[in-house]
Amino acid sequence: MSSDMIILDYQNRNPIYCQIVQQIERYIALGILKANDPLPSIRELASSLGINPNTVKKAYSELENKKLIVSISTKGCFVSSEVERAKEVKMEQEFENIKKSIAELQQLGLSVQDIKKKLEEIFK
Protein backbone atom coordinates (compact mmCIF):
# COMPACT_ATOMS: atom_id res chain seq x y z
CA MET A 1 0.00 0.00 0.00
CA SER A 2 1.33 3.39 -0.85
CA SER A 3 0.72 6.35 1.41
CA ASP A 4 -1.03 8.25 -1.39
CA MET A 5 -3.96 5.81 -1.12
CA ILE A 6 -5.12 7.59 2.05
CA ILE A 7 -7.03 10.81 1.44
CA LEU A 8 -7.95 12.93 4.44
CA ASP A 9 -10.97 15.21 4.54
CA TYR A 10 -10.39 17.93 7.11
CA GLN A 11 -14.00 19.10 6.71
CA ASN A 12 -15.24 15.65 7.76
CA ARG A 13 -16.48 15.33 11.34
CA ASN A 14 -14.78 11.96 11.71
CA PRO A 15 -11.42 12.15 13.46
CA ILE A 16 -8.38 11.72 11.21
CA TYR A 17 -7.45 8.37 12.73
CA CYS A 18 -10.98 7.06 12.01
CA GLN A 19 -10.68 8.16 8.40
CA ILE A 20 -7.44 6.21 8.11
CA VAL A 21 -9.03 3.13 9.71
CA GLN A 22 -12.09 3.32 7.44
CA GLN A 23 -10.03 3.64 4.28
CA ILE A 24 -7.71 0.76 5.14
CA GLU A 25 -10.74 -1.38 6.12
CA ARG A 26 -12.30 -0.55 2.76
CA TYR A 27 -9.15 -1.45 0.82
CA ILE A 28 -9.02 -4.78 2.66
CA ALA A 29 -12.72 -5.47 2.01
CA LEU A 30 -12.29 -4.69 -1.69
CA GLY A 31 -9.26 -6.96 -1.93
CA ILE A 32 -6.91 -4.11 -2.82
CA LEU A 33 -4.95 -4.96 0.30
CA LYS A 34 -4.43 -8.67 0.80
CA ALA A 35 -3.08 -10.85 3.59
CA ASN A 36 0.57 -10.13 4.42
CA ASP A 37 0.72 -6.92 2.35
CA PRO A 38 2.95 -4.35 4.07
CA LEU A 39 1.62 -1.00 5.26
CA PRO A 40 3.66 2.19 5.33
CA SER A 41 5.52 2.74 8.58
CA ILE A 42 3.85 5.02 11.10
CA ARG A 43 6.47 7.69 10.55
CA GLU A 44 6.28 7.41 6.74
CA LEU A 45 2.47 7.64 6.60
CA ALA A 46 2.37 10.51 9.10
CA SER A 47 4.99 12.42 7.13
CA SER A 48 3.28 11.93 3.77
CA LEU A 49 -0.11 12.97 5.22
CA GLY A 50 1.36 15.85 7.22
CA ILE A 51 -0.11 14.62 10.49
CA ASN A 52 1.16 13.65 13.93
CA PRO A 53 2.62 10.12 14.09
CA ASN A 54 0.47 9.45 17.18
CA THR A 55 -2.61 9.77 14.95
CA VAL A 56 -1.34 7.03 12.64
CA LYS A 57 -0.29 4.96 15.66
CA LYS A 58 -3.85 5.21 17.02
CA ALA A 59 -5.30 4.14 13.66
CA TYR A 60 -2.92 1.20 13.38
CA SER A 61 -3.70 0.19 16.99
CA GLU A 62 -7.41 0.14 16.22
CA LEU A 63 -6.81 -1.92 13.07
CA GLU A 64 -4.68 -4.30 15.13
CA ASN A 65 -7.43 -4.60 17.76
CA LYS A 66 -9.83 -5.51 14.94
CA LYS A 67 -7.30 -8.15 13.86
CA LEU A 68 -7.02 -6.59 10.40
CA ILE A 69 -3.31 -5.86 10.69
CA VAL A 70 -0.38 -7.23 12.66
CA SER A 71 2.66 -5.38 13.88
CA ILE A 72 5.94 -7.27 13.73
CA SER A 73 8.76 -5.77 15.76
CA THR A 74 11.51 -4.30 13.54
CA LYS A 75 9.65 -5.41 10.40
CA GLY A 76 6.60 -3.14 10.34
CA CYS A 77 2.84 -3.52 9.99
CA PHE A 78 1.19 -5.99 7.65
CA VAL A 79 -2.33 -6.96 6.66
CA SER A 80 -3.29 -9.91 8.87
CA SER A 81 -3.33 -13.41 7.45
CA GLU A 82 -6.64 -13.75 9.31
CA VAL A 83 -8.18 -10.97 7.24
CA GLU A 84 -10.92 -13.22 5.83
CA ARG A 85 -12.14 -14.05 9.33
CA ALA A 86 -12.03 -10.36 10.24
CA LYS A 87 -14.11 -9.55 7.15
CA GLU A 88 -16.69 -12.16 8.19
CA VAL A 89 -16.92 -10.61 11.66
CA LYS A 90 -17.35 -7.15 10.12
CA MET A 91 -20.15 -8.44 7.85
CA GLU A 92 -21.92 -9.99 10.82
CA GLN A 93 -21.69 -6.66 12.67
CA GLU A 94 -23.19 -4.88 9.67
CA PHE A 95 -26.06 -7.38 9.47
CA GLU A 96 -26.70 -6.80 13.17
CA ASN A 97 -26.89 -3.06 12.41
CA ILE A 98 -29.39 -3.78 9.63
CA LYS A 99 -31.49 -5.88 12.02
CA LYS A 100 -31.54 -3.01 14.52
CA SER A 101 -32.54 -0.56 11.79
CA ILE A 102 -35.38 -2.83 10.67
CA ALA A 103 -36.59 -3.14 14.27
CA GLU A 104 -36.56 0.67 14.56
CA LEU A 105 -38.54 1.00 11.32
CA GLN A 106 -41.10 -1.48 12.65
CA GLN A 107 -41.37 0.52 15.88
CA LEU A 108 -42.15 3.54 13.71
CA GLY A 109 -45.10 1.61 12.31
CA LEU A 110 -43.76 0.24 9.02
CA SER A 111 -44.81 -3.28 8.10
CA VAL A 112 -42.42 -5.95 6.84
CA GLN A 113 -43.97 -5.51 3.39
CA ASP A 114 -43.36 -1.75 3.48
CA ILE A 115 -39.74 -2.31 4.46
CA LYS A 116 -39.24 -4.94 1.73
CA LYS A 117 -40.77 -2.62 -0.85
CA LYS A 118 -38.46 0.23 0.17
CA LEU A 119 -35.43 -2.07 0.08
CA GLU A 120 -36.37 -3.24 -3.41
CA GLU A 121 -36.54 0.42 -4.49
CA ILE A 122 -33.09 1.01 -3.03
CA PHE A 123 -31.59 -1.96 -4.88
CA LYS A 124 -32.99 -0.82 -8.26
Q: Is the pLDDT reported for residue 86 higher than 90?
A: no
DSSP tag of 14: S
The pLDDT assigned to 121 comes to 93
Q: Which of 68, 56, 81, 71 is nearest to 26 (CA)?
A: 68
Write out pLDDT tens, residues 29-83. Answer: 888 999 999 999 999 999 999 999 999 999 999 999 988 999 998 899 999 988 7
The pLDDT assigned to 59 comes to 98
The pLDDT assigned to 81 comes to 87
Rg (CA), the chain: 18
Q: Any idea what the Cα angle at residue 3 is, between residues 49 and 62, rounded to 5°? A: 80
Write out pLDDT tens, residues 88-116. Answer: 777 888 899 999 999 999 999 999 999 99
The pLDDT assigned to 30 comes to 83
Average pLDDT rounded to a whole number, residues 7-28: 93
Q: Please report how the helices 16-29 and 53-65 are oriented relative to each other, as an axis angle in degrees rounded to 10.
A: 50
